[in-house]
Amino acid sequence: MNALRPATALCNARVLTPDGFVEGLAVLMQNGLIVDLVAVEALPADAVRRDLQGAALVPGFIDAQVNGGGGVLFNNATTVDAIRTIAEAHRRFGTTGLLPTLISDDAEVMARAVEATRAAIEAKVPGVLGIHLEGPYIAPARKGTHNATKFRVPDDGEVAMATSLDNGVTLLTLAPEQVPADTIRAMVDRGAIVVAGHTAATYEQIRAGIDAGVSGFTHLYNAMSPLLGREPGAVGAALEDEGSWCGVIVDGVHVHPASLRVALAAKPRGKVFLVTDAMPMVGSDDPAFDLYGETITAVDGVVRNAAGSLAGSALDMAGAVRNSVRLLGLPLDEAARMASTYPADFLGLGATHGRIAPGWRADLVALDADLQVVGTWIGGE
């Protein structure tokens, strides 16, 4: 083994391996990677041991939709320091990888957000995997809390700007009925992951979007045309299409648990993953923030704007995992995979993130019996 850093061994935990939870294993980490899973008695003599006291050790959570945290909204502070604050706020809740998310805004703000994300990744800000641009290429009829004055159809120059991040993942949420198919194809050709959201599309329009390269759905059920008997809408297309991915907000507010159980039953295993859609109050004592010049406040944990529309959430990923167990009846191993393995696969990072196995990133979370976070490691630190 590389002797530049001593190996660290996480011991006395139930370890979520690709085959399920296993007791009696130690996870050996060195130089940012998991180097082995071994019996405790087989550990190297010089390994630094940490006793996790029976905790569940699961892959670090990956959140593809983080608008803010630690009192900061990304739209209001498109800087490396803001991204660092957001990532630090979510880390305490087990999030070891995230996409800072910019909701619909002007092109200049988008360009600053992309550049700040590039700089944050270059500076090795822990946990930053890329950027999520949620809008502004979305539908006024399903705008939610987005500002419709920002909505537009991108020209070639804006497509180039929106897909210019060259050192991380770019996720773009758009309404397929608002954006020409050739533009969607150009985004995908430039390396972006394109998903449907804030869309009033018909089933047929969604299918056309999938044909053009749309590969998933942002916060399934929310801000999209519903499934009806004679008009399947975006929700029907999402549930029917085996290849597409669906992010879900499991907070007991955004979607009824029964509807989420329907999605899990309809989709192939691994295609539904957790997101938070978190706003600045996560990791902050301040329940209020400003968006588009309007003060928005969380009341009893529910975030709405003055018009009554849901305006993101006060959810963290550990809470989403707990809710998946308690509201949806999922076993912990599957809830943890929905927070780690499946989003890693969705983002094209499954060969390096989202699993506890030799060669994978040492991004890990320890959970106590109440599924509260008692330890988080990013790159073994």
Please give the positions annotated as active site: 277
- HSE-CB at 51 with a 13 A cutoff on CA atoms is 1
Tokens of 145: 């809390």
The 3-state secondary structure of the chain reads CCCCCCCEEEECCEEEECCEEECCEEEEEECCEEEEEEEHHHCCCCCEEEECCCCEEEECEEEEEECEECCEEHHHCCCHHHHHHHHHHHHCCCEEEEEEEEECCCHHHHHHHHHHHHHHHHCCCCCECEEEEECCCCCHHHCCCCCHHHCCCCCHHHHHHHCCCCCCEEEEEECCCCCCHHHHHHHHHCCCEEEECCECCCHHHHHHHHHHCCCEECCCCCCECCCCCCCCHHHHHHHHCCCCEEEECCCCCCCCHHHHHHHHHHCCCCCEEECCCECCCCCCCCCEEEECCEEEEEECCEEECCCCCECCECCCHHHHHHHHHHCCCCCHHHHHHHHCHHHHHHCCCCCCCCCCCCCCECCEEEECCCCCEEEEECCCC
- As a whole number of angstroms, the distance between CA 367 and CA 316 comes to 14
Give residue for tokens 């130089």. 31
The three state secondary structure string of 217-255 is: ECCCCCCECCCCCCCCHHHHHHHHCCCCEEEECCCCCCC
**Rounded to 5 degrees, what are φ and ψ at 101?**
-115, 125
Instruction: Reply yes or no: is the peptide bond before residue 136 cis, omega within 30 of 0.
Output: yes
Query: 379, 374, 354: which is closest to 61 by C-alpha?
Result: 354
